[in-house]
Structure 1
Amino acid sequence: MGLEKEETCQVKGGLRERKKLQTRDRLISAALELCDSQGFDATTVEQISDAADISPRTFNRYFATKEDVILAPAEDMIAAMAAALDAQPRTDNEFQALVNAQMQILGGECPTGSVDLSRFETMNRIIQSAPSVSGRNTELAERKYRSITDKVAERMGLPADDPQVRVTVGLYMSLVHISMDAWRCGQSSGDAADSAVAAQTLAATYETFREVVKNV
């Protein structure tokens, strides 16, 4: 009888968690769509909540500000990168581990689930047009850098400010920026964001990098 009760509680707990994730996902979708179409400043929390079919009070249980819901895809990427990096084998090649982790995220093989690049594209458009979101994103980018740096430092057994750690993370982040720029340039207007193509672009950029360093 006790076992049945425990299993029932687990089922209910899992259902509640799924519903919470679904509500959060609806809020993100509604916020991105509304702020992209009518402008960040012109969009209210009430409008976002209404589009997500929840109350404004419930909105505040998930996000403290409008900026936070717009930047949720970046927050999710930080969590995804941490999980994907934790899953990488210890081979003493942390640069390769970082690239492999990013490839898994783009390929939908991350432990936390797939990442929707179309949301990133919408988020970036809003960042460019809304100073308050841009400022908050700068803080988030610093946190992402620290999060990855701490993970790599732990894996390498070195302090986070060690030059080897900083060079490894700096090169990785530069490579990702280059590959994403190349991916965007290859996208035609109106095309859906294709994470598989983004993964292929990252792989190609990494191979180019490996060729270049042979001559350094």
Structure 2
Amino acid sequence: MTLAEAGTGQVKAGLRERKKLQTRDRLIAAALDLCDRQGFESTTVDQIADIADISPRTFNRYFATKEDVVLAPIEDMITSMAASLDDQPRTGNEIEALVNAQVQILGGRCPIGAVDLARFETMNRIIQNAPSVSARSIELGEKKFQSITAKVAERLEVDTDDPKVRVIVSVYISLMHLSMDTWRCGSTGQIADSAVAAETLQATYKIFREVIENH
């Protein structure tokens, strides 16, 4: 069971499913903590499994590689973004829908559960020090882009290669990058709390709208 599977709406609520999600969450927490403290290369699957109180064989039922468990926050964000975007009304303004979907996630109001920004902070530190994790993160970043693109195209009832879709997604990604520059505090590059992150994204979008309206 993964959060991605939960996001499909095909999972029946029950004790077994909740336990699987809890185990997955423990694996992510253990992997991020260990890899952050002692380094990615020095951390083994056995160590992660031991902290999560499962067998190494069970680990592979949840994640194919050590890179994947460390980068699970990205997979969770992909799933959360799809669910939150589905939750947005179709007003024709897809940039605003994307912004509101992200704000919903940051506010802990995603239909399928909250996303922990602190995990992204830890994950990013690991990415900076582990080439294999960095390479895999690029692949997942592209997967996130494609997922958002597909959702926007679906909402507009056009093909994913429609120029309008590409412009909308590109503008949204740019707004996110501008906001993230502000989220990070001081020389440590730490990410601000979710409330500040949401407010910053909304403020950035407001500036964008003002620029469009005045030019």
Same structural fold, with TM-score higher than 0.5 when normalized by the shorter chain: yes
Task: Quote the residue 1:202 is aligned against.
Answer: 201
Q: Alpha carbons of 1:30 and 1:94: their partners in 2 closer, same or farther (altered >3 Å)?
A: same
- State which structure, 1 or 2, has the greater radius of gyration over its C-alpha atoms: 1
In the alignment, the residues of structure 2 paired with residue 39 and residue 192 of structure 1 have an alpha-carbon distance, to the nearest angstrom, of 21
1:215 Cα deviation from its structure 2 partner: 3.2
Mapped partners of 2:33, 2:142: distance in 1: 26
Instruction: Name the counterpart of 1:143.
Output: 143
Q: What percentage of aligned pairs have identical amino acids?
A: 73
Letter in 2 for 1:155: R
Structure 1 residues 114-125: aligned runs within 5 Å: 114-125=114-125
Per the alignment, do residues 37 and 197 of structure 1 end up closer, same or farther by CA in structure 2, a change over 3 Å counting?
Answer: same
Structure 1 distance, partners of 2:21, 2:84, is 20
**Residues of 2 paired with 1:120 and 1:70: CA distance?**
10
Measure the CA separation in 1 of the matches of 2:29 and 2:168: 34
Q: Deviations over 1:107-126 (max 9, x none)?
A: 00110111100000101111
Q: Distance in 2 between matches of 1:190 and 1:213?
A: 30
Alignment of 1:1-216 (within 5 A): 14-185=14-185, 193-216=192-215
Deviation at 1:191, TM superposition (A): 7.4
- The Cα shift of 1:167 comes to 0.3
User: C-alpha root-mean-square deviation of aligned residues, in Å?
Assistant: 1.8
Amino acid at match of 1:101: A
SS at match of 1:205: helix
CA distance in structure 2 between the partners assigned to 1:166 and 1:84 by the alignment: 20
In the alignment, the residues of structure 1 paired with residue 53 and residue 181 of structure 2 have an alpha-carbon distance, to the nearest angstrom, of 36
Q: Matches of 1:56 and 1:28 in 2, distance apart?
A: 14
**Structure 1 stretches of 5 or more lacking a match?**
1-11
- Note closer, same or farther for the CA distance 1:105–1:97 as it changes in structure 2 (3 Å cut): same
Q: Is the 8 A contact 2:121 2:190 kept in 1?
A: no
Question: After alignment, is 192-201 or 93-102 more displaced?
Answer: 192-201
User: 2-side partners of 1:215 and 1:191: how far apart?
Assistant: 34
**Structure-1-length-normalised TM-score:** 0.90
Cα shift at 1:214: 2.4
Q: Note closer, same or farther for the CA distance 1:51–1:109 as it changes in structure 2 (3 Å cut).
A: same
- 1:150-208 deviation line (CA, Å, top 9, x unaligned): 110111121111111000000001101111121113x6869785111110111111111
TM-score, length of structure 2 as denominator length:
0.90
Instruction: Give the whole-Å Cα distance in 1 for the aligned partners of 2:82 and 2:191.
Output: 26
Q: Which runs of 5+ in 2 are unaligned?
A: 1-11
- Mapped to 2, the partners of 1:132 and 1:190 lie a distance apart of 22
Runs of 4+ off more than 6 Å: none
